[in-house]
Amino acid sequence: MPSHQVVIPVFDGIQPLDATGPHEVLMGATRLLDHLGSERAGYRVTLVAQAPGTVTSDSGMRMCPDGPLPETGEIGTLLVPGGGGARAMTSDHPLVEWLRRAAPRAERVVSVCTGAFALAAAGLLDGLSATTHWRHAPALATRYPAVDVRPDPIYLQQGRIWTAAGVTAGVDLALALVEADHGAEIAQYVARELVVFLRRPGGQSQFAGPVWSPPARQPSIRAAQDLIHSDPAADLRVPVLAARVGMSERHFSREFTRALGRSPGDYVEQVRVDAAKRLLESEPVLVTVAAARAGFGTAETMRRAFLRRIGVAPDQYRRHFATTAPIDGRT
């Protein structure tokens, strides 16, 4: 049975891990299938480039492609990495033009990180939901309004189109491809060999830094923002905030939402989640203490907010990101 051909176009300004991460997963699966004597085909991964010679990555690493961009023949998986070079591609870029020609020949088309910009430039994401690195998601949405950009998923599948979040998410996506092709047992073995999750808990939000809304121009709303950020554990209900800035509740809620694009309650919860994340990362406090200090009142209220905002519970978040051990080893 012939191998499943995976074609990865490389270019100057590539993020190397976007290519090497999936490469390791797919070839790890291939080695395992060979070891097991399986009749199922593994993968043949080929790096291709627009011009002969090496390409230089964002970090200065040089990569040597196996050959030119193929103009004929069927492609199993067309995988487009990200990096500064991908973000800079426009609709008339030679690689984007090649993607338009090559995509119909591929069983599935995949992007990793900001490789989604190249797919979007080629029109391959129009009318679809897609993800990319959380930091670049707003730019992708602004630049390509026909794409429904989802900033939180680790990866998304829309028919034969798959998109993945930033950098190491290419490993997650490649494991998902292996699972789709060969089942969970093979994918789980490869994940264990690479010491990674087969399915990473939560979404990208757990890795993103605090993203504050810009200060409002209206002095009263800016004052409310300052009150929220200065003491997330304070009483920040709408009646209290409105009274503190000298506005009626209804008028305050309307003006706050118009100025910042989100309701006061939503804004307060996000600030409290970010405050709790910092506590869990840096201080050996109990979850109940973190909940109180961040303004949630109870650990259960904070747990629901974490699940809603970042897709993981507080204790799970701490296990991944804490720099100190919790008191008495408890959460």
For residue range 122-177, list pLDDT tens digits in order.
Answer: 999 999 999 999 889 999 999 999 999 988 788 899 899 999 998 789 998 999 99
Q: Name the average pLDDT for the chain.
A: 89
User: Which numeric CATH code is attached to 219-329?
Assistant: 1.10.10.60
pLDDT at 327: 47
Q: Does the structure show a pLDDT above 50 at 257?
A: yes
With contact defined as beta carbons under 8 Å apart, do 271 and 229 qualify?
A: yes
Largest CA distance in the chain: 75
Q: List, for residues 262-300, the tens digit of each pLDDT value.
A: 999 999 999 999 889 888 887 788 899 999 999 999 999
CATH 1.10.10.60 residue ranges of the chain are: 219-329
CATH 3.40.50.880 residue ranges of the chain are: 4-204
Q: Does the structure show a pLDDT above 80 at 331?
A: no
Q: List, for residues 201-211, the tens digit of each pLDDT value.
A: 556 655 655 55
With contact defined as beta carbons under 8 Å apart, do 128 and 147 qualify?
A: yes
**CA 232 to CA 245: how far, in whole Å?**
17
Cα torsion 273, 274, 279, 281: sign: positive
Q: What predicted TM-score, i.e. pTM, was given to this entire model? A: 0.67
**CA 75 to CA 7: how far, in whole Å?**
7
pLDDT at 246: 95
Q: List, for residues 72-97, the tens digit of each pLDDT value.
A: 999 999 999 999 999 999 999 999 99
Q: CATH says 4-204 is which class?
A: alpha beta
